[in-house]
Amino acid sequence: MSDAPHATPLADQAAYAEAVAAAVAAAAAYYTDGSSPLDDDAYDRLVRGIEAYEAAHPQQVLPGTPTGKVAGGAVVGDVPHTVPMLSLDNVFSAADLVSWAAGLERRLGHPVARWSVEPKLDGLAVSARYRAGRLTQLVTRGDGVAGEDVSHAIGTVLGLPATLTEPVTVEIRGEVLMTATQFEAANAARTAHDGVPFANARSAAAGTLRARERAYKCEMTFFGYGALPFPPDDDSELAGRLRVLAHSELMDLVAALGVATTAATPVAGTTATTLDEIQARIGEIAALRAELPFGIDGIVVKADLAADQERAGFSSRAPRWATAYKLPATEKITKLLAVEWNVGRTGVIAPRAVLEPVRLDGSLVTYATLHNPADITRRGLMLGDSVTVYKAGDVIPRIEAPVVHLRTGDEQPIAFPELCPRCNGEIDTSQERWRCVRGRACHAVASISYAVGRDQLDIEGLGGTRIVQLVEAGLIADFADLFTLTRDQILGLDRMADISTDNLLAAIAKAKEKPLNKVFCALGVRGTGRSMSRRIARHFGTMEAIRAADVAGVQAVEGIGPEKAAVMVEELAELAPLVEKLVVAGVNMTEPGVTPPDETSPAETSALPLLGMSVVVTGSMAARWPSCPEIR
């Protein structure tokens, strides 16, 4: 959970005026096509700095200030909203939330009986107008009073049905966004046509929603967060219900009408009666954030009951009965300073981005993952680019895309290596992931270190320094050589005494007895890890059966597709000498409790009910979250 962000300090009136102009420009870009020059955290800091300056100098407040205005006062539209479409105020910490809740209860004159807690989706707020159950118009938030008509996008937004389950006239409000899969597809389409990827999922959704003429279509997703009578003075039975239903009940109604909500996702809206319950749910949603197929940037806390909402009322830009608990930023804009090329344990040559240091989700980030040269080319990255950086799984920093509109003309192409950056040998560029032609031999220390790790052979006492000694002394070239080491050879190493030598030899001897899945994992076949190695070992039973399998045979293992199967067969052929050395050394090559396929008895084979049959399965598969189009 985040602490309140520091405000950008503004020393004088000139700095204040400059900050106002920067904030308004950033808001205009953010709420139109999503291409803001400031990330969320920087924008929040700037606005808080403006608020602090205005509080201290009320006589100097500029009329164009973004404070107290929907969308920072930078966006206009030409379609009036039936009811103002406002923003939300923010809190940044548990203490802020307690203070806000206390202020609301003072305004109400009584404790809030029930709270609503739901995710704050990182998309664009839109109003969907239905007449007699049919979707007739889509309007963006705009400045809250009027928005832009984007009805041309009808039919491209999943979760927003063309026809409701009942022929009612109603206005549904919600968020349009792109899921991870939709963003990937949109970027592929845009790169193919325009050569430039979207900066992030939000800008992709914003640009796509507003684009009227494009040679390609991009799919988006809608999640509803509210409903109101349409028109406002409607006196129908449904309109009456909409005015008195609690928010949680309103969301049930929206879902019943066939509109997607977050109800079927892990971050479904819930209710709470105490601040402790609210904080617990905030923690749960924050913990799930990295696993979601769509972006969230906070948690919305509302007074659930309609009577409390009506009594609390609204400010000029936001309801007083709701606030957004902002989560730490998972995406920032920074500079790409350089690209380093490193060689991994299998000889793969991997690029790494060197960044202008930026604080992201509580840590200082100076490096980010780049997948391969083809990925760099697809993303159109250049040295000196402003780039959006995010944390994959909240752990590994990665570059999303260049922020093209911030280019100055001084950016330079990224140079790809012509020789292996480790050994100066030739590079195999036949696949997207380039590789030194020497393979594992190029970086033997890394390959051996991986093989003896805890999840593989687990040879205690064999750390990186000792492996370097053994390799540099010419005693080992791969991890199979460990099993032929003698006591005298190890004693000859620096800082190896009798006891430590005997302990290391015992650990090596114990590693010979590891099950096949551990031995196979130690080989470090590309595309396989601990869990995949277990599946492979349990499927085949012996190393001999694994090595004898062709591409089709390997594909029979759960989770292995044709591309990965082909790579695995190729690598096993390449690793044949290493495997032979392991066999000669007496390393176990079987998986306990597994009968190899070719050893199944005739009686067992004849009893198999589908033997010799071809079975075709038709129909559709239900998604894990039925209302989430991401996985349909």
Which residues does the annotation mark as catalytic? 120
Tokens 């990255």, located at residue? 381
Nearest partner of 359 among 95, 6, 122, 94, judged by Cα = 6
Dihedral of the alpha carbons of 480, 484, 490, 493, in degrees to the nearest 10 = -50
Contact 226, 173 (CB under 8 A): yes
Handedness of CA 3, 8, 9, 10 (dihedral sign): negative
How many CB atoms are located within 10 Å of the residue 331 CB? 21
Q: 231 preceded by cis ω (within 30°)?
A: yes
67, two tokens? 């404070």
Q: Which residues contact 44 (CB under 8 A, 6 or more apart)?
A: 5, 90, 92, 326
Dihedral of the alpha carbons of 384, 387, 391, 396, in degrees to the nearest 10 = -30
- The helix (H) or strand (E) run that includes residue 413 is none
**Spatial separation of the C-alpha atoms in residues 467 and 458, rounded to whole Å:** 14
**Spatial separation of the C-alpha atoms in residues 296 and 291, rounded to whole Å:** 11
Radius of gyration of the chain (CA): 30
**Spatial separation of the C-alpha atoms in residues 259 and 249, rounded to whole Å:** 14
Contact 66, 74 (CB under 8 A): yes
| CA 220 to chain centroid | 17
Q: CA angle, corner 176, sides to 171 and 180, nearest 5?
A: 155
Contact 337, 355 (CB under 8 A): yes
**Spatial separation of the C-alpha atoms in residues 559 and 565, rounded to whole Å:** 10
Nearest partner of 133 among 173, 157, 171, 164, judged by Cα = 164
* Antiparallel, parallel or unpaired: β 157-158 and 220-229: parallel
**Spatial separation of the C-alpha atoms in residues 105 and 100, rounded to whole Å:** 9
Dihedral of the alpha carbons of 372, 373, 379, 381, in degrees to the nearest 10 = 120
Q: CA separation (Å) from 299 to 49, 104, 326?
A: 23, 17, 7
Dihedral of the alpha carbons of 435, 440, 445, 447, in degrees to the nearest 10 = 100
Handedness of CA 138, 117, 285, 1 (dihedral sign): positive
Output the 3-class SS for 82-128: CCCCCCCEEECCHHHHHHHHHHHHHHHCCCCCCEEEEEEECCEEEEE
Nearest partner of 450 among 531, 309, 344, judged by Cα = 344
Look up residue 394 and give its amino acid: D
Nearest partner of 331 among 357, 360, 367, 356, judged by Cα = 360
**Spatial separation of the C-alpha atoms in residues 398 and 187, rounded to whole Å:** 16
